[in-house]
C-alpha cells in the first residue's frame, strides 16, 4: 500500500504486464490494528459488528493488538521484511499468530489474467476496480467518517478458509461448475460468454431449470444479490503441509477491504450462511477484523491521529 495523495491509502495496481524474465523483488506492507482493540463510538463499524449475529462457522479468532502484512513478489523478501518488523518491535510486541500465503508469480503467464485458487477455479472476476465511479465510496472510509482517525482508511477482514480438496476433487467438472456458477476452463458464467460477460441470472436450460443454480457461489455473492454490498478481495492461497491422516491443510487466506464491513462483508457472509453450494467443500478456521488508518502526509506517520488523539 502507498500514500497517494496524502491521507489516502490505495492498493498498488500493476500498470503494465509482468516481464517474461524474473523481475526485481518488490514489496508492499500494511500495518493495522484489530478493530475492537481501540477506543470506539456507537457508530464505529466494529461496535455494530460485535452486536450482529455471528457467522457460526468461525472456530477461532485471528486477533491481536496490531497486524502486519508483507506482500512482495519474492518469499525471501517477505521473510526478511517480517524479521525486520519483529526486531524493531523489540519487547513491545510479540507474534501471536502468522499465516503464510502465495499467489501466481509475476511473469508466470504470457498475458495478465485473473488468478486461480487451489480448487482450480478462476477467482476474483468481479472485483471492484479503482476506475469504478463508486470505488472510493465502497472501499475507503469517508474523510468525515467515524471515528475521525479512520478517515480515508479501510477495514480489512481476514479469514483462513480451509478447502476440503479430497471431497472437491471427487466431483465431476460439470458439478464443480454448478457449485461455482462459472466454467472451470475460463471463468465464464454458465449462462455463456467470456469471463467478464454479465451473468444472466434468468436463463434456463431445456428442462426449465436455471442455468446458473440458485445457490451457486458466484450468483449469491454478487452485489446485486446483496443490496449492493461489495468489497475489494485480495486473497492468497496457502498450503501448510499434510495432516496426520494425509489430508492436505490447504485453502484460501481470504482478505477483503471495505469502507464499512456491515455494508460489505457481513451481508454477503449472511447470504452464504443461508445456503451456499460451496459450503460442504470449505471450513472457516480463523477470522479477524482489522482497521487500517489512511495514509500519512509528509511529516506525519500512519495512525498518528489514533495514537496521539
pLDDT of residue 131: 95
What's the full length of the chain, in residues?
Answer: 309
Of the candidates 74, 88, 123, 245, the residue annotated as catalytic is 123
Rounded percentage of the chain residues whose pLDDT exceeds 70 = 79
Q: How many domains, in total, are found in the chain?
A: 1
Residue entry with cell 519483529: 86
Residue 80 in domain: no
pLDDT of residue 276: 98
Residue 93 in domain: no
Mean pLDDT of the chain: 84
- What 3-state DSSP class applies to 167? helix
Per mean pLDDT, which range of 24-33, 81-90, 131-140 is the poorest? 24-33
Mean pLDDT over 97-113 rounds to 81
pLDDT of residue 1: 37
Residue 54 in domain: yes
pLDDT of residue 54: 41
Radius of gyration of the chain (CA): 20
- What 3-state DSSP class applies to 278? coil
Q: What cell numbers appear for 308 in the block?
A: 496521539
pLDDT of residue 104: 82
**For residues 102 and 108, what is the distance between their CA atoms, to the nearest angstrom?**
13
**Model pTM?**
0.82
pLDDT of residue 13: 42
Q: 54-88, pLDDT tens digit by residue?
A: 444 444 456 678 888 888 888 899 899 999 988 99
**DSSP conformational letter for 69:** E
Contacting residues for 98 by C-beta, under 8 A, at least 6 apart: 82
Bond preceding residue 42 cis, omega within 30 of 0: no
pLDDT of residue 133: 95
Q: Is the pLDDT confidence value at 12 over 50? A: no
pLDDT band at 39 (very low <50, low <70, confident <90, very high): very low
DSSP labels for 227-247? TT---EE--EEEEEEE-TTS-
**For residues 243 and 162, what is the distance between their CA atoms, to the nearest angstrom?**
12
CB 49 within 8 A of CB 261: yes
The residue among 266, 265, 256, 258 whose CA lies nearest residue 233 is 256
pLDDT of residue 46: 54
Residue 31 in domain: no
Residue 35 in domain: no
Q: Is 123 a catalytic residue?
A: yes
pLDDT of residue 30: 62
Residue 83 in domain: no
For 90-98, the CB contacts below 8 A with 24+ separation are: 93/65, 93/66, 96/63, 96/64, 97/62, 97/64, 97/286
Bond preceding residue 147 cis, omega within 30 of 0: yes
Q: Is the pLDDT confidence value at 24 over 80? A: no
* CA 149 from centroid of its chain's CA atoms: 23
pLDDT of residue 27: 52
Q: Is the pLDDT confidence value at 308 over 70? A: yes
Give residue 283's domain range.
2-12+45-62+99-109+122-308
Q: Is the pLDDT confidence value at 93 over 60? A: yes
Mean pLDDT over 174-201 rounds to 98
Residue 82 in domain: no
Q: What cell numbers appear for 73 in the block?
A: 513478489
Q: What cell numbers appear for 202 in the block?
A: 434468468
Q: 260-269, pLDDT tens digit by residue?
A: 999 999 999 9
**For residues 116 and 112, what is the distance between their CA atoms, to the nearest angstrom?**
12
Residue 186 in domain: yes
pLDDT band at 97 (very low <50, low <70, confident <90, very high): confident
Q: Pick the more confident residue, 97 or 212.
A: 212
Amino acid at each position: 500500500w502507498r500514500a497517494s495523495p496524502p491521507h489516502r491509502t490505495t492498493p498498488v495496481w500493476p500498470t503494465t504486464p509482468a516481464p517474461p524474465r524474473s523481475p526485481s523483488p518488490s514489496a508492499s506492507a500494511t500495518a493495522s490494528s484489530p478493530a475492537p482493540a481501540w477506543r470506539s463510538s456507537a457508530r464505529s463499524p466494529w461496535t455494530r459488528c460485535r452486536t450482529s449475529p455471528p457467522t457460526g462457522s468461525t472456530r477461532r479468532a485471528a486477533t491481536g493488538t496490531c497486524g502486519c502484512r508483507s506482500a512482495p513478489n519474492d518469499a525471501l523478501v517477505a521473510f526478511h521484511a517480517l524479521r525486520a518488523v519483529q526486531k524493531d518491535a523489540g519487547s513491545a510486541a510479540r507474534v501471536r499468530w502468522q499465516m503464510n500465503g502465495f499467489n501466481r508469480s509475476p511473469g508466470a503467464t504470457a498475458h495478465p489474467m485473473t488468478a486461480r485458487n487451489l480448487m482450480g477455479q478462476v477467482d476474483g472476476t468481479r472485483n471492484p476496480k479503482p476506475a469504478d465511479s463508486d470505488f472510493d465510496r465502497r472501499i475507503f472510509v469517508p474523510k468525515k467518517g467515524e471515528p475521525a482517525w479512520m478517515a480515508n482508511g479501510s477495514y480489512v477482514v481476514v479469514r483462513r478458509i480451509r478447502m476440503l480438496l479430497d471431497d472437491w476433487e471427487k466431483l465431476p467438472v460439470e458439478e464443480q461448475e454448478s457449485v461455482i456458477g462459472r466454467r472451470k476452463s475460463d471463468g465464464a458464467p454458465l449462462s455463456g460468454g467470456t469471463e467478464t460477460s454479465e451473468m444472466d441470472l434468468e436463463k434456463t436450460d431445456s428442462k426449465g431449470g436455471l442455468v446458473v443454480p440458485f445457490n451457486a457461489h458466484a450468483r449469491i455473492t454478487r452485489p446485486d444479490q446483496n443490496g449492493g454490498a461489495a468489497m475489494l478481495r485480495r486473497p492468497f492461497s496457502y498450503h501448510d503441509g499434510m495432516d496426520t491422516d494425509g489430508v492436505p491443510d490447504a485453502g484460501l487466506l481470504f482478505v477483503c477491504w471495505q469502507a464499512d464491513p456491515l455494508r460489505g462483508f457481513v451481508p454477503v457472509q449472511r447470504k452464504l450462511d443461508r445456503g451456499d453450494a460451496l459450503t460442504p467443500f470449505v471450513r472457516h478456521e480463523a477470522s479477524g477484523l482489522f482497521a487500517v488508518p489512511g495514509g500519512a502526509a509528509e511529516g506525519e506517520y500512519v495512525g498518528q491521529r489514533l495514537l496521539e488523539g
